[in-house]
Structure 1
Amino acid sequence: TGAETDARVWTMVHGEDGSFSAAPAVTVSLAKRPGANAVVVSEAILHRVDALKGNLIPEGIHVEVTRDYGETANHKANELLFHLALATVSIVVLIAFSIGWREALVTLIVIPTTILLTLFASLMMGYTINRVSLFALIFSIGILVDDAIVIIENIARHWAMKDGRTRIQAAIEAVSEVGNPTIIATLTVIAALLPMMFVSGLMGPYMAPIPANASAAMLFSFFVAVGIAPWLMMKIAGKAPLHGAHDGVHSETRLSRFYGRVAAPIVASKRNAWIFLGIVGVATLLSLTLFATKAVPVKLLPFDNKSEIQVIVDLPEGAALEDTERALFALADAIGPVEEITTIQAYAGTAAPFNFNGLVRHYFLRASPELGDLQVNLSAKEHRKRASHDIALDLRERLLAVPLPEGAKVKVVEVPPGPPVISTLMAEIYGPTPEARRETAAIIERFFEETDFIVDVDNSMGDRAPRLTFGIDEPAAADAGVLQQDILDAIGMAFGGQTVGVSPRGEGRDPLNIRVYLPRSQRSWTQEMAAIPVPRRLAGTDAVPIELGELVEVREEVGSPTIFRRDGHFADMVMGELAGRYEAPIYGMFEIQDRIKAFDWASAGLEMPAVSLYGQPADETGTTLLWDGEWEVTYVTFRDMGMAFGVALLGIYILVVGQFGTFRVPLIILTPVPLTLIGIMIGHWLFGAAFTATSMIGFIALAGIIVRNSILLVDFIRHTTDGEKPLKQVLLEAGAIRFKPIVLTALAAMIGAAVILTDPIFQGLAISLLFGLASSTALTVLVIPAIYVALRGPDWRPDRSNPLQTVANPATGDSTSASQQT
């Protein structure tokens, strides 16, 4: 009774002897509504399942949870909250050792206050607490204390001067002294981050919480730093002994002496300054060669460490469900010895419950007897030594040894860390005729297969399925007195079965159909099938039935090719994944393009296809290869982020022009931005990490952070220049005084980055911040003084007799006068 089952599902678990044992299974997949808390929904479902045991779920039925994204989300959130707390404590300890414990206590209050305000702003903007938004907070924690550190350190420095001022007056003047540059410095960081919100494509919504939350954190941190931090300083340390006159001064003296020893030779002469700037410039250019030599590869996002892997099996069209089932079991046996695998679910003739990746790859359409899936579930990442990507590479090697029917395709699919695509490396072939497209696609597919780091090669055309064609011999049917409908009914019953009745079930449930059909193994054209009797109703009631084989002509033909269209354009696709030497699509593209140029297309009777990197061809009279897949997302993301970086630099330049009233000083302030590349590239090379979209986020954010340090330094140089001291002495004094807060703010940001260094997705962001800050901070306090000396000389003094003599800008022609800088 019931409909014929065209799909079969099995679950495989470890038996007592360690091998996998299979049992029939039914998979139930539940998804939350938009806006619901995944953790709460997951827990509620599990509680309901427990309550149904013994009632709706009878004894002997084992219920097993194969995927629980609510538990995964809860685990990641708790892990990130721990990192958030660790970064906070680390920064507080840093302030305690560098300035004092009272100042550290102020910082301990400032950080949670800013974070809570940021979370409120995030709620108002419609963001939820998820992995990306929490990473935005961890990323922000290192820079949101910058304003507070500058304010607190300057208050402590003024209190340690012992010049007769009251604590309140000294605090007010300390805040006033760094107030304007702190405002501009905060706005520059926001100007660097905010344009990233306008990245388009699939990566846009994925990245949006980072600039949104980080910008909100910076804005709130400024108001907390200038409003709450001074008040807390007065309350906590207003009547305390002047510890700055002891620990603080000695610590500052050590830092000042260290800075003086390093910077003095550089600013001693124009020649030394130019030599130093030349060395730094060459080092920056050399760091970029790591891209050219592929020592630092470029990729959209690195592989994540997930708890599941999927194996997709495509047998030749026309294969039976039993063939697919046998192939799945053989593949499961091959990967069974992998110790990290906990359970496997096999789906023959149907798709496994799909996730976001399956939605984009159209796995929900996989409902045919020749299609199968293996859902491979791994142990928790803290219980295994290997990452899921390394396990996937191992599985792929094991599966290659499994004998399968000719034409079968096996793919190992990993859950992508970001926006999913149909295939990592995908070539779309456009052309004037179907033949030209298919022949070109076949050659491109061969190039894919010949490239050692391109795996899981497939195409959208597939093999033409065999087709059994029945032609009715009308004269023979008429002579025998057989209706054509009777012939069709006989064929339909033989190959599809027939419903002959129903079986009631009671209790208001729908009845089951009673169907009669042949076993799958007998559904082929054989002598037995040809002997099926067909009634001769037109020949009279006493006429003997005639055999079906006498009335039809049966031919086995090749089916029609698959026709694929994208946005109204006919196209054929060649797809592949990357594993081995290179795992980013751009390197596969370069390899295939080299092979295209080297191939003799004329001998194949084809024209060499034009290669397009973005956008479907407007003219299809010639053959075109369009790169799609992950490359399309990568191109759009890096294009938009490059534009965001340009807008950020323009915004920063305008802000600094407004602050200093000159068009040339901002150019000096922006000079250290490229210096971040030295540390960024070296850091990625040391860690063997690819330069990813998150690395680019770190690079763009560094533009605002480094410019902030430059602003503080240049502003102090402006206020220190009095016309009596030579430029060299002014630069050394200003650098020595601002060196401590610059180092502290850099260390705070580096601490915030260090706690996420082990995360596979945001490691690029952490490396960019950690190493980029280290190199650019060390060079900023040396490069800016070197630029002043290179353009003006070490002994330059402003002409006090000329009120229009520039002191802020080492170049001439600006309007800032000495009288304006008192």
Structure 2
Amino acid sequence: EVGMAITASTLTTIVVFLPVVFMGGITAEIFKELALTVTFSLLASLLVAITLIPVMSSRMLELEKEKKDVFFDRIKNLYKRSLRWVLDHRGPVLAISIILLAASLALIPFIGAEFIPDMDQGMFYINIQLPLGTSLEETSRITARVEDIVLTIPEVEAIMASVGSSSELLSLGTSSSDISSVIVLLKDLNERDRSTWEVMEELRQKLRIPGAEISLQASDLVAIAGSPISIKVLGDNLEFLEEQALIIREELAQIEGIREIDDNISEGRPELQLKINRELAAGFGLRPAMIASTVRSAISGDVVTRYEVDGEEIDVRLRLDKEKLSSPEQLKNLYLPSPTGAMVPLERVAEFHLSTGAREILRENQVRYVNVTADLYNRNLSEVMPEIQARLQERLDLPPGYQLEYGGEFQEIIDAFTDLYYVLLLAVVLVYMVMAAQFESFLQPFIVIFSVPMAAIGVLFALFISGHNLSIVTLMGMIMLAGIVVNNAIVMVDYINILRSRGSTVREALEEAGPVRLRPILMTSLTTILGLVPLALGRGEGGELTAPMGIVVIAGLIVATFLTLYLIPVIYSFFAGAGKKAEV
């Protein structure tokens, strides 16, 4: 009676994970191991269930006189009466279910969206940028002042400062005398009352030091997706791109909840540009490459030999004394040896221009672009992005050849959600194929499949009440749910078919199958729900990542269990053509 049913139930859970294994991108990297683990665990459990369990039962279980369970008998009798009432009022029951589904779908605009739930890892970075050319001593003094302010926060456990280089997470390890970074470690979650983001927000208000540009960023898994807000303007003219970047910064600064606005072009570095007069240089026998090599050797020096100490080689660099090249005027008097033997001053063959150059010039598909980034505080992307897009559509007027793109976490959300929606659709198709083979019917699997969209009632209401956002974690929970919610329905429908094959009418089979399968349905649902409770509670560091998945599966399974016990018999009666009092 149950061999094929449990096989089909296990296979439906396994097949929903198959598309995940073959996905690409960040989502696959996060969930691929989960999919493989669940798949092989379920295959092993199926093998044990159909081989070892029957053998052990025949050896270890003894037949005893059935004991009466007064509590469960009351539940069973109550279910029998309610099932008869539901079967007598099929139309209203189905209509109410559809109304609840529509109401839950109406909650989607009120549920936020994010790539991955924020995790409070108790660590963040402070990046300090001082005016270009600031001495290392001054940078160290400002950094020490920042450290003193940070240590006044009671939640801080330890700090580590690096003067002359920025945090690798923030700026890929840039080195300069005018930058520094501080890594802040907080106490464990159970030893503090505030989250990492609340502590960071307090420090944003306190770390307002004149002349210093200070930014904060939490250490979070979301960093793999880039900044929450990342806006690109692509085109050829750097000056025009810089103007657009300033406009975007102005608009972002007016939006509530946006923090740490930055771009790659606004504050360039001062530089001294040399424009070589090729005709004059050629008259002295000098080529541009020779001039550039001489200037570079004078400023940066050349490694002329290596000095070995205790097996370690040390470069010996030959260069001009810094005091002889401390100003542009001194550089102009740098003598260039020409092939003719004459010593030519640099200013004779080159013009000097003091200008500001871009910090970096980025290209995408050989097209220049500027990138403006920002973080969020107490707001999610689904709320902020429509406001950003509306503002920029109104302010920016890009000519032909220029393009606006949204990237970062926003683009990752779009890509990941699109992939997971297709995975969910494919999972439902695979589940249908397994059930079609089990029931040997193309029609009956639709009875069970009906429980999949209906489970969204519990999912969306749970997300709305708990305050969690839609993310790749919650979507993965929904994909799991597509394989889990059909299990009880398969057992129910399979037993209904067995009763009908024994001569029972549709109505008799429905009224008998429900109470008989009530105990195993409740047992399987409760074991899954109770097993996911620790996951849904999200206790401990990193628990924020798994809690939404647990909540989604638990809420969906509760609703799906109710659907299996009441709505599946109603749908079956419609598909079987059974009337209110029909006998077939």
TM-score category, normalised to shorter length = 0.7 to 0.9
CA drift at 1:385: 3.5
Q: Whole-Å Cα distance in 1 between the matches of residues 532 and 350 of structure 2?
A: 76
* 2:230 pairs with one of 426, 429, 444: 426
- Quickly say closer, same or farther: Cα 1:530–1:730, change in 2 above 3 A: closer
* 2:263 pairs with one of 452, 459, 476: 459
Q: Deviations over 1:765-785 (max 9, x none)?
A: 101111111112112211111
Q: Deviations over 1:206-232 (max 9, x none)?
A: 210111111111111111111112222
Are 1:755 and 2:562 matched, yes or no?
no
Per the alignment, in what secondary structure is the counterpart of residue 346 of structure 1? strand
* 1:403 pairs with one of 187, 194, 210: 210
* 1:193 pairs with one of 4, 9, 17: 17
The 5-angstrom pairing of residues 598-613 of structure 1 reads 598-599=394-395, 601=396, 606-607=397-398
| Aligned residue identity for 2:361 | I
Q: Deviations over 1:104-132 (max 9, x none)?
A: xxxxxxxxxxxxxxxxxxxxxxxxxxxxx
Q: Deviations over 1:280-309 (max 9, x none)?
A: 1111121122221x2x21111111121421
The match for 1:42 is: none
- Quickly say closer, same or farther: Cα 1:368–1:237, change in 2 above 3 A: same
TM-score computed with the length of structure 2 as normaliser: 0.85
The match for 1:287 is: 104
Q: Is the 8 A contact 1:468 1:557 kept in 2?
A: yes
Q: Is the 8 A contact 1:425 1:577 kept in 2?
A: yes
Q: Whole-Å Cα distance in 2 between the matches of residues 755 and 379 of structure 1?
A: 23
Q: Whole-Å Cα distance in 2 between the matches of residues 279 and 298 of structure 1?
A: 28
- More RCO (CA 8 Å, sep 6+): 2
CA drift at 1:739: 1.5
Q: Whole-Å Cα distance in 2 between the matches of residues 534 and 635 of structure 1?
A: 57
Q: Whole-Å Cα distance in 2 between the matches of residues 377 and 304 of structure 1?
A: 14
Q: Whole-Å Cα distance in 2 between the matches of residues 371 and 721 of structure 1?
A: 78
Q: Deviations over 1:170-203 (max 9, x none)?
A: xxxxxxx111111111111111222122221122
Are 1:416 and 2:220 matched, yes or no?
yes
Are 1:300 and 2:131 matched, yes or no?
no
Q: Whole-Å Cα distance in 2 between the matches of residues 349 and 763 of structure 1?
A: 40
- Quickly say closer, same or farther: Cα 1:741–1:523, change in 2 above 3 A: farther
The match for 2:161 is: 346
The match for 1:579 is: 377
- Quickly say closer, same or farther: Cα 1:517–1:304, change in 2 above 3 A: farther
- Quickly say closer, same or farther: Cα 1:533–1:457, change in 2 above 3 A: closer
Are 1:556 and 2:354 matched, yes or no?
yes
Q: Whole-Å Cα distance in 2 between the matches of residues 781 and 387 of structure 1?
A: 43
The match for 2:184 is: 376
Q: Is the 8 A contact 1:746 1:773 kept in 2?
A: yes
Per the alignment, in what secondary structure is the counterpart of residue 576 of structure 1? strand
Per the alignment, in what secondary structure is the counterpart of residue 297 of structure 1? coil
Q: Whole-Å Cα distance in 1 between the matches of residues 21 and 277 of structure 2?
A: 69
Q: Whole-Å Cα distance in 1 between the matches of residues 92 and 259 of structure 2?
A: 50
Per the alignment, in what secondary structure is the counterpart of residue 116 of structure 2? coil
Greater shift after overlay, 465-474 or 448-457?
A: 465-474
| Aligned residue identity for 1:190 | I
Q: Is the 8 A contact 1:500 1:516 kept in 2?
A: no
Q: Whole-Å Cα distance in 2 between the matches of residues 391 and 537 of structure 1?
A: 60
Aligned CA-pair RMSD: 3.9
Q: Deviations over 1:37-58 (max 9, x none)?
A: xxxxxxxxxxxxxxxxxxxxxx
| Aligned residue identity for 2:362 | F
Q: Deviations over 1:768-808 (max 9, x none)?
A: 1111111121122111112234552232122xxxxxxxxxx
Q: Whole-Å Cα distance in 1 between the matches of residues 102 and 130 of structure 2?
A: 51
The match for 1:693 is: 472
Q: Whole-Å Cα distance in 2 between the matches of residues 723 and 231 of structure 1?
A: 28
| Aligned residue identity for 1:590 | P
Q: Is the 8 A contact 2:267 2:358 kept in 1?
A: no
Q: Is the 8 A contact 2:264 2:359 kept in 1?
A: no
Q: Whole-Å Cα distance in 2 between the matches of residues 217 and 505 of structure 1?
A: 59
Greater shift after overlay, 425-434 or 491-500?
A: 491-500
Q: Is the 8 A contact 1:199 1:637 kept in 2?
A: no
Q: Whole-Å Cα distance in 1 between the matches of residues 74 and 4 of structure 2?
A: 28
The number of residues matched between the two structures is 566
Q: Is the 8 A contact 1:327 1:404 kept in 2?
A: no
Are 1:386 and 2:206 matched, yes or no?
no
Q: Whole-Å Cα distance in 1 between the matches of residues 319 and 159 of structure 2?
A: 34
Identity of aligned residues (%): 23
* 1:767 pairs with one of 531, 545, 551: 551
| Aligned residue identity for 1:287 | S
| Aligned residue identity for 2:556 | G
CA drift at 1:513: 5.4
Greater shift after overlay, 383-392 or 765-774?
A: 383-392
Q: Deviations over 1:668-691 (max 9, x none)?
A: 110011122121122222222112
* 1:705 pairs with one of 470, 484, 497: 484
Q: Whole-Å Cα distance in 2 between the matches of residues 398 and 236 of structure 1?
A: 70
Q: Whole-Å Cα distance in 1 between the matches of residues 232 and 12 of structure 2?
A: 42
The match for 1:43 is: none
Q: Whole-Å Cα distance in 2 between the matches of residues 462 and 774 of structure 1?
A: 54
Q: Whole-Å Cα distance in 1 between the matches of residues 457 and 337 of structure 2?
A: 90
| Aligned residue identity for 2:158 | T
Q: Is the 8 A contact 1:321 1:369 kept in 2?
A: yes
CA drift at 1:575: 0.8
Structure richer in strand, relative to its length: 2
The 5-angstrom pairing of residues 665-814 of structure 1 reads 665-721=444-500, 727-757=506-536, 758=538, 759-790=543-574, 791-798=577-584
CA drift at 1:261: 3.3
Q: Is the 8 A contact 1:466 1:556 kept in 2?
A: yes
Q: Whole-Å Cα distance in 2 between the matches of residues 676 and 692 of structure 1?
A: 18
Q: Whole-Å Cα distance in 1 between the matches of residues 202 and 429 of structure 2?
A: 48
Per the alignment, in what secondary structure is the counterpart of residue 106 of structure 2? helix
CA drift at 1:531: 12
- Quickly say closer, same or farther: Cα 1:647–1:390, change in 2 above 3 A: same
Q: Whole-Å Cα distance in 1 between the matches of residues 305 and 40 of structure 2?
A: 68
CA drift at 1:264: 2.4
Q: Is the 8 A contact 2:133 2:178 kept in 1?
A: yes
The match for 1:276 is: 93
The match for 2:26 is: 202
| Aligned residue identity for 1:267 | L
* 1:241 pairs with one of 64, 70, 75: 64
Q: Whole-Å Cα distance in 1 between the matches of residues 504 and 184 of structure 2?
A: 73
Structure 1: give runs of 5+ residues left out of the alignment: 1-176, 475-486, 539-546, 609-620, 799-822
CA drift at 1:495: 6.8
CA drift at 1:644: 1.1
Q: Whole-Å Cα distance in 2 between the matches of residues 536 and 324 of structure 1?
A: 36
| Aligned residue identity for 2:553 | L
CA drift at 1:267: 0.8
Per the alignment, in what secondary structure is the counterpart of residue 455 of structure 2? helix
Greater shift after overlay, 549-558 or 277-286?
A: 549-558
Q: Whole-Å Cα distance in 1 between the matches of residues 430 and 317 of structure 2?
A: 74
Q: Deviations over 1:560-594 (max 9, x none)?
A: 573211243322111111112x133x433211111
- Quickly say closer, same or farther: Cα 1:656–1:505, change in 2 above 3 A: closer
Per the alignment, in what secondary structure is the counterpart of residue 165 of structure 2? coil
CA drift at 1:374: 1.2
Structure 2: give runs of 5+ residues left out of the alignment: 279-290, 339-344
CA drift at 1:664: 1.5
- Quickly say closer, same or farther: Cα 1:760–1:653, change in 2 above 3 A: same
Q: Deviations over 1:713-771 (max 9, x none)?
A: 11111122368765434312211111211111111111221111211101111011111
Per the alignment, in what secondary structure is the counterpart of residue 231 of structure 1? helix
CA drift at 1:595: 0.8
Q: Whole-Å Cα distance in 2 between the matches of residues 337 and 261 of structure 1?
A: 66
| Aligned residue identity for 2:123 | E
Per the alignment, in what secondary structure is the counterpart of residue 349 of structure 1? strand
Q: Is the 8 A contact 1:423 1:576 kept in 2?
A: yes
CA drift at 1:556: 3.3
| Aligned residue identity for 2:105 | L
